[in-house]
């Protein structure tokens, strides 16, 4: 059983560049979540989708951040332009949320470094 797949695993880029993080959720899951982990703030929820529709993007820090889910098997988180303070580990998680609460399943994250 394939879990949540994130790519790339590591990204190092220069300030000002566009960064695109990718996520493939577990097949059959209908909710998808993007998180950012930092030492200061722990796991922050950035945005989540249900049935490919963005439900709540109040955690997105700035307009430089955007996320899309064009279909049930793919989502992207984009940062444009990137800044050094965006350096963090970004996680994608998915779950099946139609019948009450279920655990979210996480990918292994993308470690992003903005120089």
Residues that bind another protein (CB under 8 A): 4, 31, 33, 35, 41-43, 45, 48, 50, 55-56, 91, 93, 95, 97, 100-109
- Contact of 21 with 76, CB cutoff 8 Å: yes
Q: Which is nearer to another protein, 64 or 97 (CB)?
A: 97
Q: Which is nearer to another protein, 15 or 55 (CB)?
A: 55
CA-CA-CA-CA torsion sign (105, 78, 19, 82): negative
Q: How far is the CB of 89 from another protein (least distance, A)?
A: 9
Question: Between vectors from CA 108 to CA 60 and to CA 71, what angle results, nearest 5°?
Answer: 60
Q: Which is nearer to another protein, 17 or 32 (CB)?
A: 32
Q: What is the spatial distance between Cα 115 and Cα 103, in angstroms, rounded to a whole number?
A: 35
């Amino acid at each position: 059983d394939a879990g949540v797949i994130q790519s790339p695993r590591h990204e190092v880029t220069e300030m000002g560049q566009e960064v695109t993080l990718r996520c493939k959720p577990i097949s059959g899951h209908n909710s998808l979540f993007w998180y950012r982990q930092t030492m200061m703030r722990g796991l922050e929820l950035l945005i989540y989708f249900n049935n490919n529709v963005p439900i709540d993007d109040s955690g997105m820090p700035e307009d430089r951040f955007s996320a899309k889910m064009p279909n049930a098997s793919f989502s992207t988180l984009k940062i444009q332009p990137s800044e050094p303070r965006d350096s963090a580990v970004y996680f994608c998680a998915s779950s099946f949320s139609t019948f009450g609460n279920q655990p979210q399943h996480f990918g292994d994250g993308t470690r992003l470094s903005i120089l």
